[in-house]
Amino acid sequence: MIRIFAWAILVIATYLAISHTNLRKEWPKFDLTNQITNSSNNSSDNIENFRTWLPDTAPSVHASTVIPLKNGNWRAFWFAGSREGAPDVVIASSVFDTQTKTWSEPIAVIDRTRTQQGLLRYISKLGNPLPARAPTGELQLYYVAVSLGGWAGSSISMIQSTDEGQAWSKPKRLITSPFINISNLVKSPTFNFSDDTIGLPSYHEFIGKFGELLQIDPQTGNVINKRRMSSGREAIQPIIYINDADNAIAYFRQTRSHGPAQIITSASTNAGLNWKAGDDLNLANPNSAVAGLTLRNKNRLLVLNDLTEGRHRLTLVASKPKPSSTSNEYSNWEIIEVIENETPDGINPIEFSYPYLAQASNGDIQLVYTWNRKKIRSIFFNESAINKKLDSLLENTSGELK
């Protein structure tokens, strides 16, 4: 009798599990239509090369990101506190008004206490905010929360806003690892899939240092699938360039203990379902984050510390598809602008790091990055100006990055 009862439970379990699985759809394609959403279609006047500092909030600031808002303005996020990893670190935010060209008074979007009350567990520190535009239109903010230990003990949480970032929902924790759900971080921009789910590039830095692509349900914030983008202990913080509905290439920050200090790559030909390691780029990387952006004409931008050691130089480079070949072949990277270039004095650290690029639908591009861990710098670029400069450089390859 008990055995019949056990069989009955198994039959019910199997039925429920398969019913639950049937809800899962086939792996989607990359969505190329809704990457950028705001109301303005014309490039903002005189914003090209506009340089400004984000408002001061704390002695230590880092990991800035930015997203265009529906009304044509921009909202930036960064973490701020007495020092990196301190309990007083909050995720700060400010809005850039494109008419007045000023940043608003910063607000704390979320802090450690609110996170631990929402997640019902102790949280020791926060980091790495990453905004995203859900296919449903809401603003989402993914960020990193740590309960124990260093950044290797991180997990990803998410809050949502229906009013462009003024009020935010209770945090939700993403479960992405079977090992007490630790060692999951975010840094790079999301994208949308054709089935209105969200692609979230993430990475681990605990025992392994590798990249993973998370597929997120925008309604619930649940992880519904994930795919490994690299393995081992040498590649984190993937940025993804999408070529078409199926093809994409990812660039990684290298974390090698030995071996070439170059940007690591991985490619997918089935919309991120499978990834295969490629050759390193011939671009130096001193174990520092890079930022990437695919422009509307498929030209690619990359911001990096093009050094094998140190972070005292920050450069914007660009590349364009080769006209005669398939869309997956690109020209060499050309230097569009050396954004920062200092000489280290060996005493005071000079560091320009954690770049992040975003583009509005009018073509305006904004770069934000950490300036010496003390300030956040913002620079606007104009898409057509970059394209023109790239074309001119490609005619005369003297600016080519070696």
Partner 1 sequence: MITSLREFIPLIELALISTLLISYLSKGLYKSQSTSSIRLITLLAVFIFLLLPLDAIFTGNLPWKLPLIAYVRAATGDLSISTLLLCLLGLGHFKKIQINTNFVFLIGICALVFYPLALGVSMIDPYAWGYGSIIFISSVTLIAGLFIWRHSLLEGVVISIAMIAWSFQWHESTNLWDYLIDPFLGVWAIIYSIRIFIRSKSSIY
Which residues contribute to the site for partner 1 (CB under 8 A)?
A: 2-3, 6-7, 9-10, 12-14, 16-21, 23-24, 113-114, 116-118, 120-123, 147-148, 170, 173, 175, 177-181, 183, 204, 206-210, 212, 222-228, 230-233, 275
Q: CA 378 to CA 394: how far, in whole Å?
A: 27
Amino acid identity of residue 86, one-letter, is A
Tell me the two tokens of residue 249.
């290439």
Sequence-distant (≥ 6) Cβ neighbours of residue 64 within 8 angstroms: 54, 76, 77, 78, 354, 356, 368, 369, 370, 376
H-helix or E-strand containing 282?
Answer: none
C-beta of 9: minimal distance to partner 1 in Å?
A: 5
Q: CA 116 to CA 65: how far, in whole Å?
A: 23
C-beta of 189: minimal distance to partner 1 in Å?
A: 22
H-helix or E-strand containing 387?
Answer: helix 383-395
Cβ proximity to partner 1: between 129 and 211 the closer is 211
Cβ proximity to partner 1: between 212 and 351 the closer is 212
C-beta of 216: minimal distance to partner 1 in Å?
A: 10
Tell me the two tokens of residue 30.
């990359």
Cβ proximity to partner 1: between 101 and 233 the closer is 233
Q: CA 191 to CA 256: how far, in whole Å?
A: 28
Cβ proximity to partner 1: between 20 and 258 the closer is 20
C-beta of 110: minimal distance to partner 1 in Å?
A: 11
Greatest C-alpha distance within the chain: 84
Cβ proximity to partner 1: between 255 and 305 the closer is 255
* Half-sphere exposure at residue 321, Cβ-oriented, CA atoms within 13 angstroms: 16
Cβ proximity to partner 1: between 113 and 397 the closer is 113
Sequence-distant (≥ 6) Cβ neighbours of residue 128 within 8 angstroms: 63, 79, 143, 144, 185, 186, 187
Q: CA 221 to CA 241: how far, in whole Å?
A: 23
Residue by residue, DSSP assigns 248-274 as: EEEEEEE--SSS--B-EEEEESSTTSS
Cβ proximity to partner 1: between 39 and 113 the closer is 113
C-beta of 266: minimal distance to partner 1 in Å?
A: 10
C-beta of 86: minimal distance to partner 1 in Å?
A: 15
Cβ proximity to partner 1: between 173 and 377 the closer is 173
C-beta of 72: minimal distance to partner 1 in Å?
A: 32
Sequence-distant (≥ 6) Cβ neighbours of residue 116 within 8 angstroms: 122, 123
C-beta of 251: minimal distance to partner 1 in Å?
A: 18
